Structure 1
Amino acid sequence: MMRRLRGTGVSSGIAIGRIHVLAAKHDEVQRYVVKDADAEIARFRRAQDRALQQLKQLRDKAAKDFGEGKAELFDTHQLMLRDPDYLESVEGLISSSKVNAEYAVHSTAEQFAAMFRAMDSSYMQARAADVRDVSSRVIDILQAPAEADGQQEADAQPQGEPYILAAQDLDPSETVQLDRSKVLAFVTAEGSANSHTSILARSMGLPAIVGIGDELNEDFDGVYAIVDGSQGELLLDPDAETLHEYQSSQQRIEEHRRLLQELKGKPTVSSSGQRIRLYANIANPEEVDNVLANDAEGIGLFRSEFLYLESEDFPTEEFQFNAYKQVAQKMGDRLIVIRTLDIGADKQVAYFGLDKEDNPALGYRAIRICLTQPEIFKVQLRALLRASAFGNIAIMLPMITSVDEVRRSKAIIEEVKTELRAQDIEFNEGIQLGIMVETPASVVMAPELAKEVDFFSIGTNDLTQYTLACDRQNQKLHQFADPHSPAVLRMIEMTVTAAHKAGIWCGICGELGADLTLTDTYLRIGVDELSVSAPMILPLRGVIRGR
């Protein structure tokens, strides 16, 4: 009898085949007393060195298969394994408690993972899986025979027909080593949409579901199943009618992909002659290759805060300059809209030293940090302006609620420009400046704000949150936080109207921009630009050209 299990779909698509269940690892790590703590520490360090060698090999493989952006994950893993606090914890346990290295590593991993899971940021919470992955690798080496090469994950994959891989969870290192010619999809009992494993699944083009729960177990091995990555559904023992329905859907998806490839290089113009520019959202320079592969006309949102989130201290001017310059040079003359740091709310960074807030979404964040700590803001602005000499960069300010905030920001930008001129450092004197419209205040003040800037970009995620007074991090409010609310759509239309009256352009860079059910609405109200995830560029182009 057919069973239907639900989880979180993290990579779309349909896969049909038999399930192979990957055996769980390290259910328990034995603790025992060692006589010579120094010898045990030396044993741990040998395992650490070997793990670092393996991570370097994985980095090379990831760079070859997925590009430098995804490969940097394993740079992060190497940094974790060299982290002084991590090493001090492992070696301290061995020294003080005379415990075996495996137990010390396992205990440290659980401690660090719990610390990450307790953080407010979903990005940082997902790092718990990374520290466990790194530690699991060291434990494997400590427990394996001396001649083992650390490739157990790859060797464990079955031969023969392609299969659906099921596991309690998948580490990023296991995911990278999957034989893509054999794996049709994967499903896991645990995991999150923000994990590196989920990101890799999307890069591989594999349908994937995480968080199915304890119902996913070893009894599923060999069971014929369907994975619907879009809906987050796993169908076990499908009946003939359901199987035929999904096989037809699978064929339609493949045909759709083929047709979309034919849209590359075509203008995004409706049948009535209305043009919308299709840009892409990115979080780091490594995503640019995917932006170009999907034929985006520019980058409408570079979330520069990820340069801060992924650093252990404030990123230097030179570090940021190189990142922005790399994107500018790759994109050529295409526009790159870089949002200044949007730290705070759900994106917390320890080294900023921000106080715990009862309501961080309404708190000290984004432009409020920049205006009250201009020394941080100026470092980023210098990097942005310097990089503007190498491409078509625009600066965008987040969380603007008043004309005064824009004018104060412009004054700081002018100070930085004056400094650069005095140092004979080149930058684009005509660089565009825009703002995010993501609060009711900025919508109401849009006619006045439009006189101060060159463009608007509507952040629909926060605009929905603030317009409807619904915390978008609160799972219980999803039924109330309706982004299709007439109030939200009216806010968007008011913003576009105000922009056009002032002679500036207006785009959308929030999740709603990729909502194909609203494309006709955007055409009707005259939205100039949509910035979406790179894989949505061609589907959107197809819809617009068909209107």
Structure 2
Amino acid sequence: LAAQARGIPVLTGCREAAEITDGQLVAFDPVAREFWPHPDQALRVELARRNAERTAAAERAQLRAHEPAVTTSGQTIKVEANIGSVDDAQAAAHQGADGSGVVRTENIFAKDLTAPSVEAQTEVFVRIGETIGGPITIRTWDPSGDKPLAFMPNQPEDNPALGERGIRMMRKVPQIFRDQIKAALLAAQQVDLQLMIPMVTDPEEMAWAKQQVETVRAELGVDPVPVGMMIEVPAAALRVAEFAALVDFVSVGTNDLSQYTQAADRTNDAVRQLARQDSPAVLELIRLIRAALPGIPMAVCGDLASDLDATRTLIELGADELSVRPGMVAEIKEVVRAI
């Protein structure tokens, strides 16, 4: 995710890569997910053509990057960016992002050995909001096996993807959770900001999170901010109507939703193909979410939102907002304008 956010070509799950020798010329297409250990001249010419074509498309999109993304029928789609640093916010602003649909707070403070102070978090949130120049969505802490935090409990788990993540972990460290809420509420006095709770499974979890937000808000004496949830657990997707009174918005996290729906670990190369984010089952869950929450804004984040071939489908399924990799904002906007 970090490499993709910075526009660095990356291909994962390629077993042939283990056999590469020092000095060997290889080629890969990260978009088509193809790898060639011994590219001949004809293939190299073809790949150069593909690269030139994609570069030209990106340059054309950049010309209109700061214009709204409006479909041919007149619907405006917010195209936001997934942010993990102030640098990401700068890249997203250059691409014309309408804000940030996900600020990955665990990425920002990944190197901290102790929990960051309220002041440190507030400062970063304000910098990101001011840099991107639009509303930002602070996703509360979501440590996991592939993104651990040194200042969180890190008990070994047999299957961390199904363990204490997101809101589950926050209930064990409520003070760390409340400190982050406080930082977000203080930052909201200076920038347009909303809060999003990850890894919610049961309405009771969301009710608890909302209560923590309200308690901190009352202590500070500040105005409320919108509070929403990530939908990345199939159980939450199927019961989403029960969350309607608890959320101001929802964001469908397709990375985790796909792996949980397909029972395929997205970090396991042997079954990665089964965790396709455009599988009929995942798309049906998105349709059900939209149908159950009329009038409540629905964003889609995760890799699927950054897929140019999926943009039309997501809008047809009812997405109001797409939160994408910073480098994809302008191109996604251009696709929206053709729908």
Could you tell me the TM-score, scaled by structure 1's length?
0.57
- Which one of 502, 507, 524 corresponds to residue 316 of structure 2? 524
The SS at the match of 1:267 is coil
Name the counterpart of 1:269: 70
Distance 2:47 2:39 in 1: 13
Check whether the contact 2:129–2:136 (CA below 8 A) recurs between aligned residues: yes
Q: Identity of aligned pairs, percent? A: 32
- In the alignment, which residue of structure 2 is the partner of 1:361? 161
What residue is the counterpart of 1:336 in the other structure? 136
How far is 1:245 from its partner?
3.0
Which structure 1 residue ranges, 5 or more long, are not aligned? 1-192, 422-426
Aligned residue number for residue 263 of structure 2: 469
**Which of residues 455, 478, 501 is equivalent to 2:272?**
478
SS of the equivalent of 2:102 reads strand
Letter in 2 for 1:488: V
Amino acid of the structure 1 residue aligned with 2:260: Y
- Tell me which residue corresponds to 1:302: 103
Change in CA separation of 1:528 and 1:358 when aligned onto 2, cut-off 3 Å: same
**Matching residue of 1:38:** none
Give 1:389 deviation, angstroms. Answer: 0.3
The superposition leaves residues 131-160 of structure 1 with CA deviations (integer Å, 9 ceiling, x where unpaired) of: xxxxxxxxxxxxxxxxxxxxxxxxxxxxxx
Poorly superposed stretches of 4+, deviation over 6 Å: 208-211
Separation of aligned partners in 2, 1:445 and 1:209: 35
Task: Tell me the SS of whatever aligns to 1:309.
Answer: coil
Q: What does 1:243-254 correspond to in 2, within 5 Å?
A: 243-254=44-55
Deviation at 1:515, TM superposition (A): 1.9
Give 1:434 deviation, angstroms.
Answer: 0.5
| Residue 393 (structure 1) aligned with residue 193 (structure 2) | yes
Residue of structure 1 in register with 2:179 after alignment: 379
The 1:329–1:258 alpha-carbon spacing in structure 2 relative to 1, beyond 3 Å, is: closer
CA distance in 2 between counterparts of 1:237 and 1:410 reads 55
2:262 partner amino acid: L
* Aligned ranges 1:138-537 → 2 under 5 Å: 203=6, 212-213=17-18, 215-218=20-23, 228=29, 230=31, 231=33, 233=35, 238-239=40-41, 241-332=42-133, 334-421=134-221, 427=222, 429-500=223-294, 503-537=295-329
Q: 1:249 to 1:313 in 2, by over 3 A?
A: same
Give the Å deviation of 1:308: 3.6
Checking the alignment, whether the CA contact within 8 Å between 1:455 and 1:499 is kept in structure 2 is no
Aligned residues: 335
Provide structure 2 residue ranges, at least 5 long, that are not aligned to the other structure: none
Q: Which amino acid aligns with 2:121?
A: Q
Report the Cα offset of residue 258 of structure 1. Answer: 2.7
CA drift of 1:477 comes to 1.2
| 1:307–1:315 CA contact under 8 A, matched in 2 | no
In structure 1, distance between residues paired with 2:11 and 2:230: 33
> Matched residue of 1:389: which SS?
coil
Question: In structure 2, the residue corresponding to 1:457 is in which secondary structure?
Answer: strand
Contact 2:112/2:151 (CA < 8 Å) preserved in 1? no
Alignment of 1:85-164 (within 5 A): none
Once the two structures are superposed, residues 53-94 of structure 1 have per-residue CA deviations (whole angstroms, 9 ceiling, x without a partner) of xxxxxxxxxxxxxxxxxxxxxxxxxxxxxxxxxxxxxxxxxx
Give the partner amino acid of 2:279: S
Greater fraction helix: 1
Larger radius of gyration between Structure 1 and Structure 2: 1
Cα RMSD, aligned residues only: 2.5
Residue 525 to residue 378, structure 1, CA distance change in 2 (3 Å): same
Deviation at 1:244, TM superposition (A): 4.5
Post-superposition offset of 1:228? 4.8
Equivalent position amino acid for 1:458 in 2: V
Counterpart residue identity of residue 273, structure 2: Q
* TM-score in terms of structure 2 length: 0.90
* Distance in structure 1 (CA, Å) of the matches to 2:138 and 2:216: 17
